[in-house]
Structure 1
Amino acid sequence: MTTLVESEEHKSLRAAVAAFARTQPHTLDAEDNRRLWQAAAKLGYIGVNLPEAYGGGGAGITELSLVLEELGASGNPLLMMIVSPAICGTVIARFGTEEQKREWLPPLADGTRLMAFGITEPDAGSNSHRITTTARRDAATGDWLLTGRKVFVSGVDIADATLIVGRTEDARTGRLKPCLFIVPRDAPGFERRPIDMELSAVERQFELTLDDVRLPADALVGDEDAGLLQLFAGLNPERVMTAAFGVGMGRHALARALDYARERTVWKTPIGAHQAIAHPLAQAHIELELARLMMQKAAHLYDAGDDAGAGEAANMAKYAAGEACVKAVDQAVHTLGGNGLTREYGLGRLITASRVARIAPVSREMILNYVSHQTLGLPKSY
């Protein structure tokens, strides 16, 4: 039976990451973010989930989510940890060819290379079955030709390549099936355009256009016939890591609010003595702890090889963390009053950022749909 009580190794890792993160500046500067990434990688934190044979730590999503949570709790979340080692690194480690593993996993682990992930399209958000980015074979050369569009792809400008979800035609049925391709940043026909976001974050969002992007045969990751199996191998860790992102951000906001509530005195006692302040903060703490427990369950199931069980738990963890994060940030800002919107305290920008944990990579409503259908056995309305 899996226990959710952290081992001494996990407690030590959590303490070490927290101590490291406290030494790093809180900033939205891209260069500071790059230095933080490299420093974390040097300590083995970025590639902790990747195989030891390829330069990683040989651990799992459990450990990687712990790292991201602690970085977020210190005010230094690294969004690309969700994408590069968790999604792309996991997919390549599980399904990539030996050549792909040797080329990509060591630099992903040591922080010298980054990989972005592109799945969402203008007309294919929650419904991935509507993806229209297609790949066809060049009969003369064996190359792939990839054509389509993607939106809300994080960090394309700083990534060395993007793992693109496309579709190929099944020769037996004629139906399109999902496949994943590694697309280098400088590939001809691969264009990116930044999306103007009202979001304070280092990592920018992009719209991608792929116009007959020619890729060698070995750009395909894994088996052409594996389809959804390979895709969800990356999406379950994505949900777990998004939960870690949300829990960490919520903890950071709550910590700032608690510091303020202990010191700020309006009448005779600090405002934290008043139940109108104390109870909502206590509730925020409880909800964050509950979300963390579900996140740990999902990570343990995934690392144990239970993809089906991890799928349910990862969706629940992402839902719980997104809700808890938004509530914690909102209550933290409310606790500080006007100060909650000043740059000095750094909470105002989290009002928008916390919504990311609720919206991406899958909306709260689609998670409720998943639980309704898959867990409760209710019929679909679509």
Structure 2
Amino acid sequence: MNFTESPEQQALRSAVAELGKRYGQAYTAPRARAREPLSELWAEAGKSGFIGVNLPEQYGGGGAGMYELAIVGEELSAAGSGLLMLVVSPAICGTIISRFGTDEQKRRWLPGLASGEAIMAFGITEPDAGSNSHNITTTARRDGADWVLNGRKVFVSGVDSADAVLIVGRTEDARTGRLKPALYVVPTDTAGFEYTPIDMDVQMPDKQFLLYLDDVRLPADALIGEEDAALAQLFAGLNPERIMAAANSVGMGRYALDRAVGYANERVVWGKPIGTHQGLAHPLAKAKVELELAKLMMQKAASLLDGGDEANGAAVGEAANMAKYAAAEASIACADQAVQTMGGNGLAHEYGVGSLLIAARVARIAPVSREMILNFVAQFSLGLPKSY
């Protein structure tokens, strides 16, 4: 792993940072309060080639990797204008379709996902399954050449802006009767597909939805990849998800620290800037150290993933999970210390950090809880007995 980014990566980081600054918190905050998607920023990021930077060139993408998409996510979040659907549309769905889709599926979906003109959401969590993806009850059965899906999904981001949702369902093994995971692209205008917004306390531009699939009939080519290999295909999308979640958290932490440091340098009490006091300087320095450590793990995970070595699958999963855990914790610490540094102003809307207390906290829960990550590390990294 090279700790010095290439000239191309540096140029990408600079260009995305400039785009983020042109929008920033002044653009994002009112839309977050109104629960309105960041459509203008998404469109410009797509036209600039940022959204599909990780997707294959032959389908309109940038031909780069997850490292570069993480740069995009981090820099936009650091500017106060993070795009949640970067985690979903190009990272999860784009990766899965790029690796496992047929040529026709790639031609149909990847150009739109790369340009941002098409958005694909991702539905895995269910009301009764929670973190237990092995207990998913959304089922898919064959009816002639078609598939028929029934079930529910919950906490699915951005469905109202999406053209389709990549649904994780289960098919029944005719020999054993067991249910096996499988992946289906469900256009949002399909008959029998309905969605309802969930009223959330967190202020964010992208709404969360409860999905209902009632005898949703799909053509045979709605199935992505092999019917019998979807578990491996599913995890091919979940590692990018964790890396991008880490990138968003790192960017959010940077934003909070930048605001806090600026305030600590300008705010004068008893004749000197408050940043001269170790009671504020040390917690901010500690938060910076922890944020940089989390960023290193995120970069390691992205580099391992982009290395393409299938034998490295375990190492990628370990690094991606650790990066997501570390970045969430660091981001929360940054947001909390930013508010503490500013005192009452930290909760005033004009300073733009109070809302981060909840927004950063989301990363401890989604897209996977820290407890499940610790279970993973205990079992696979430390070799401890499975606890669940």
Normalized against structure 2, the TM-score is what? Answer: 0.96
Query: Contact 2:36–2:205 (CA<8 Å) still a contact in 1?
Result: no
Q: Report 1:193-342 matches (<5 A).
A: 193-305=196-308, 306-342=312-348
Inter-CA distance 359–23: structure 2 relative to 1 (3 Å threshold):
same
Give the Å deviation of 1:240. Answer: 0.2
Tell me what 2:3 maps to. Answer: 4
Query: Contact 2:123–2:167 (CA<8 Å) still a contact in 1?
Result: yes
1:156 and 2:159 correspond: yes
Give the Å deviation of 1:31. Answer: 6.4
- Distance in 2, matches of 1:31 and 1:144, equals 34
Equivalenced residue count is 379
CA deviations over 1:231-278 (Å, ceiling 9, x no partner):
001000000000001000010011000000000011111000000000
1:47 is paired with a residue of what secondary structure? coil
Tell me what 2:145 maps to. Answer: 142
Q: Report 1:8-87 matches (<5 A).
A: 8-26=7-25, 27-28=28-29, 29=31, 33-87=38-92
Give the Å deviation of 1:8. Answer: 2.3
CA deviations over 1:297-326 (Å, ceiling 9, x no partner):
000111112322110000000000000000
Tell me what 1:124 maps to. Answer: 129
Tell me what 1:354 maps to. Answer: 360
Where structure 2 has 5 or more consecutive residues not aligned to the other structure, the ranges are none
CA deviations over 1:141-178 (Å, ceiling 9, x no partner):
31100000100000001100000000001233321111
Query: Contact 1:118–1:150 (CA<8 Å) still a contact in 2?
Result: yes
- Distance in 2, matches of 1:112 and 1:6, equals 29
Give the Å deviation of 1:7. Answer: 2.0
1:361 aligned partner, one-letter code: P
Query: Contact 2:375–2:387 (CA<8 Å) still a contact in 1?
Result: no
Give the Å deviation of 1:33. Answer: 1.1
Tell me what 1:170 maps to. Answer: 173
Tell me what 1:187 maps to. Answer: 190
1:124 aligned partner, one-letter code: A
Tell me what 2:117 maps to. Answer: 112
Query: Contact 2:245–2:324 (CA<8 Å) still a contact in 1?
Result: yes
Give the Å deviation of 1:25. Answer: 4.1
Normalized against structure 1, the TM-score is what? Answer: 0.97
1:297 aligned partner, one-letter code: K
CA deviations over 1:167-214 (Å, ceiling 9, x no partner):
001233321111000001111111111101001000000000111100
- Distance in 2, matches of 1:170 and 1:51, equals 34
2:46 aligned partner, one-letter code: A
Query: Contact 2:164–2:185 (CA<8 Å) still a contact in 1?
Result: yes
- Distance in 2, matches of 1:307 and 1:39, equals 34
Query: Contact 2:246–2:324 (CA<8 Å) still a contact in 1?
Result: yes
Give the Å deviation of 1:46. Answer: 0.3
Query: Contact 1:245–1:357 (CA<8 Å) still a contact in 2?
Result: no
Where structure 1 has 5 or more consecutive residues not aligned to the other structure, the ranges are none
- Distance in 1, matches of 2:219 and 2:6, equals 45
- Distance in 2, matches of 1:221 and 1:115, equals 13
1:235 is paired with a residue of what secondary structure? helix
Tell me what 1:98 maps to. Answer: 103
Give the Å deviation of 1:111. Answer: 1.1
Q: Which moved more, 1:111-120 or 1:17-26?
A: 17-26
- Distance in 2, matches of 1:184 and 1:53, equals 24
2:88 aligned partner, one-letter code: V
- Distance in 2, matches of 1:105 and 1:4, equals 31
- Distance in 2, matches of 1:332 and 1:270, equals 15
- Distance in 1, matches of 2:300 and 2:180, equals 31
1:23 is paired with a residue of what secondary structure? helix
1:127 aligned partner, one-letter code: N
State, as a whole percentage, how many aligned pairs show the same letter.
Answer: 67
- Distance in 1, matches of 2:106 and 2:37, equals 29
Inter-CA distance 222–32: structure 2 relative to 1 (3 Å threshold):
closer
Give the Å deviation of 1:3. Answer: 2.4
1:72 is paired with a residue of what secondary structure? helix
Query: Contact 1:254–1:328 (CA<8 Å) still a contact in 2?
Result: yes
